[in-house]
Structure 1
Amino acid sequence: MRVHFVIHESFESAGAYQIWAQMRGHDVTSTCIYNSECLPDNADGFDMLVVFGGPQSPRTTLAECAYFDSKAEQQLINRAITAGRIVVGICLGSQLIGEALGAEVCQSPEKEIGHYPITLTDAGAQHPLFEHFGSPLTVGHWHNDMPGLTPQAVVLASSAGCPRQIVQYSDKVYGFQCHMEFTADAVEGLIQHSEQELAEAKGKPFIRSVDEMRAFDYQQMNEKLWFFLDKLSR
C-alpha cells in the first residue's frame, strides 16, 4: 500500500502511523508543510492519505501562517475522496476533512491535553473497524477544537471534554480528534514546543501534567490504532 503523510510541524510527528507503515512494509511518502514542501497535485500517487495535526486551524490564513494553505489541503482531501482513496485525519486533519466536505470546524467544550478516556457511541461499539477498541479506552489528546459534522457523518466516540472524538464521514474517510498516534517521543516533541501553552492551560479540567504525560504507556492505544488501520486497509 502507498501511504502519504501530510505533516504540519516538525514537532507534530507521524508517531504510531509511521511505525505501522514500516511494520507492514508500506511505501510511505510525505509532505512536510513546515518546510514549504508542495502537496501532491492529485491522488494518483497514494492509496491512503493521512493528514496530521498542528497548531493551525482550518481558518488560519496564509497571512497568519505562510506555509499552511488550508484551501489547498482541503482540495487534496476532496480529490482523494473523489478518487476512492482512504483518508484519515488527526486533530487539525480531522477538522480539515470536515471543512473539505462543507462542515465548519467548531470549538470543543473543553481544551484537552494529555491522556483521557474516550467512550464509543452505540454506532462505534457496533462498527467492525472499532469493535476491538473496548470502551472506555484511554488515548492521547491535544486540542481546542473539534471537527464539523456533515449530514452523513456518524460520531463513533466521545469524551467527557469533547463530544466528537472519532467521526466517520464515509466508509473510507475517518476523523480522529484524539491522538492515538502519540508515542513517548511524539509527546516529548510537543512538550518541548508548548511551554507557554501548557503554562496557560494549567488548572483547567482536562490538562495533564508534563510528568503524567511522560509516564503514560501509549502502547495499548497504538496497538488498537494499528488493528484499525489493518482492517481499514484490507
Structure 2
Amino acid sequence: MNVHFIIHEAFEAPGAYELWAQTRHHTITHSRVYLGETLPNNARNIDLLIVMGGPQNPNTTLSECAHFDSIAEQRLIRSAIDQHKLVIGICLGAQLVGEALGAAFSASPHPEIGNFPLTLTAAGKENPLFSHFGDSLDVGHWHNDMPGLTADSKVIAVSEGCPRQIVAYSELVYGFQCHMEFTRDVVEQLIGHAGKHLDATHDRPFINSISTLRAHHYEEMNGKLYIFLDKLVEKYQYTQSA
C-alpha cells in the first residue's frame, strides 16, 4: 500500500494515521506543503490519500496563505476518487473532500476542542467498517467548520456540537471532522500553537481547558481508528482484485 499524506502545518501532525501506516509496513510519502513540498501531479501511484487538517478553510486563498492551494488539493482529491483510490480527509481535509465533490463546507453549530463523544447514526450502525465503534465513542476534536454533504453521502456519526462528524462519501472515501489521530504529542503541538487563547475560551460548552486536554487518554480511540483503517484497506484490496 502506498499512503500519501498532505500535511498543511507542522502542528497538524498525522499522529495515529502515520503510526498505523508504519506498523502495517506501508510505503509512506508526504506533501508537507508548509515546507514548500509539492503535491503529486495525480493519484496514479497512491493507494490511500490522507489529507490532514489546518487552520485554513477551503476558501482560503493563496494570497492569504501562500503554501495552501485549495484548488490544487481538490484537484488531486478528485483524481484519487475518479481512479477509485482510498481517500480520507481529516477536519480541513474532510471539508476539501466535500468541496472536491461539489459540496460546500459550512460553519459547525459549535466549535469543539477537546474530547467529546460521537454517536453513530443508523447509517453508521449499518456500515461494517464502524461495527467496532459501539453506539458511542469518545474522540478528539479541534474545529470550527464541518464538511458539506453530497446527494449520495451518508453521515456515519454525529456529536452534540456538530451534526457531521464522520461522512461516507462512497465505500472508499471518508471525511472525519473529528481527530481520531490525536496522541499526547500531537495535542501538545496544538496547545503550543494555540497558546493562551485556549484558556480564554474554555467556558464554552465544547471547549476543554489546557489542563483537561492534557489529561485525556487517546489510546482506545487510536485503536478503534486502526481497526477501521485495516477494514478499509481490506475492502480496497478486494475491489482491486475483483
Does residue 190 of the first structure (1) align with residue 190 of the second (2)?
Answer: yes
Structure 2 gap ranges (5+): 235-242
- Confirm whether residue 99 of structure 1 aligns to residue 118 of structure 2: no
* 4+ runs deviating over 4 angstroms: none
Matches within 5 A, 1:1-234: 1-234=1-234
How many residues get paired?
Answer: 234
**Greater CA deviation, 134-143 or 190-199?**
190-199
Question: What letter corresponds to residue 79 of structure 2 in structure 1?
Answer: R
Structure 1 residue 165: Cα displacement? 0.2
CA, structure 1 residues 197+101, in 2 after alignment: closer, same or farther (shift >3 Å)?
farther
The Cα of 1:199 is off from its aligned counterpart by: 4.0
Are the counterparts in 1 of residues 58 and 95 from structure 2 also a CA contact under 8 Å? yes
- 2: distance between equivalents of 1:68 and 1:194? 19
Please tell me the residue identity of whatever aligns with 1:163.
Answer: P
Corresponding residue SS for 1:170: coil
Using the alignment, how far apart are the partners of 1:128 and 1:38 within structure 2? 36
* Partner Cα distance (2:185, 2:135) in 1: 26
Give the superposition deviation at 1:218: 0.1
Report the more deviating stretch, 87-96 or 200-209: 200-209
Are the aligned partners of 2:199 and 2:210 in contact in 1 as well (CA < 8 Å)?
A: no
Comparing 100-109 and 193-202, the one that deviates more: 193-202
Residue-by-residue CA offset, 1:112-153 (whole Å, 9 max, x unaligned): 000000000011011100011012100000000000000001
Question: Is the contact made by 2:117 and 2:138 (CA closer than 8 Å) also made in structure 1?
Answer: yes
TM-score, with structure 2 as normaliser = 0.95
User: Matches of 1:142 and 1:201 in 2, distance apart?
Assistant: 13
Q: How many Å separate the matches in 2 of 1:215 and 1:230?
A: 28
**2:208 partner letter:** R
CA deviations on 1:56-92 (whole Å, 9 max, x unpaired) are 0000000100000000000000000011100000000
C-alpha contact 2:112 2:144 (8 A) present in aligned 1: yes
Structure 2 Cα separation of the partners of residues 23 and 202 of structure 1: 36
TM-score by length of 1: 0.98
Contact 2:7 2:52 in 1 (8 A): yes
Calculate percent identity across the aligned residue pairs. 59
Shift of 1:197: 3.7
Q: Which amino acid aligns with 2:50?
A: V
Q: CA deviation at 1:200?
A: 4.4
- Give the aligned residue type for 2:134: G
Report the Cα distance in structure 1 between the residues aligned to 2:22 and 2:186, rounded to whole angstroms: 16
